[in-house]
Amino acid sequence: MDLHNEFENSKFFHQSRIDRRAADALVGLAAGITADGVVNTNEAIFLKHWLENNLAHLNDPVINLLYSRLASMLQDDALDPDESLELLNILRSFSGVCIDRPQVGGAAAFAPTDLPFNSPVPDLVWDGRTFVFTGVMAYGPRKDCQALVEERGGLIGGGVSKKVHYLVVGSVGNEQWRHSTYGTKIMKAVELREAGASIAIVGEDHWQRMLFG
């Protein structure tokens, strides 16, 4: 599933067709929900119902992406910590809320439009190799992406370290959501790579190509 052009094709955000009142309302909701740095289950349920009542009729890629993630996360009527963090990142990116970019060793974090992917991109080996994901994946919830790796014999790391072989950066927001940041995982991976560790930083596009051809 390729949602990389969701903003280009969006009825919701396309300037010639934009529903400004609904857009402002949703952006305001997203900013308000994320203001305290946490998204809880009640907030997620409220947002899901709000989308159903106000924007479901648009059949828009951006709205569909947000709604499908909410619906998947709330199948058990609760957010686990990983889902809460993923939803926080989605809503922060969506609302354009500026996130303070962390400092690692005095260096500024990379902007999403200047990501330090390996070049040339490596072939991905699955069996026995350790993967870590960061950012928001267009394919689907992070746990689904991790399952695809595990089905092929790969391992999922709890964080970036010398034992990790691949850091996969989600593609949603790389270009359009300019105020987002992927935090310290990328910076840590860059430091390890420059120190000679065998960690590769790859984008979701490449990860999907290696999975599905």
3-state SS, one letter per residue, for 112-165: HHHCCCCCCCCCCCCCCCEEEEECECCCCCHHHHHHHHHHCCCEECCCCCCCCC
Write down the pLDDT at residue 2. 38
Tell me the mean pLDDT in the region 7-29. Answer: 58
Does residue 165 carry a pLDDT above 90?
yes
Q: What is the pLDDT of residues 100-126, one digit of tens each?
A: 333 333 333 333 445 788 989 999 999
The pLDDT of residue 57 is 66
Q: Worst-scoring range by mean pLDDT, 23-32, 48-57, 102-111?
A: 102-111
Mean confidence (pLDDT) of the chain: 77
What pLDDT, on a 0 to 100 scale, did the predictor assign at position 59?
65
The pLDDT score that the predictor gives to residue 96 is: 57
Q: What is the pLDDT of residue 102?
A: 35
Residue 76: count of CB within 10 angstroms of its CB = 9
Tell me the domains of the chain and their CATH numbers: 20-95 (no CATH), 107-212 (3.40.50.10190)
Q: In the predicted model, is pLDDT for residue 195 greater than 60? A: yes
Residue 58, pLDDT above cutoff 60: yes
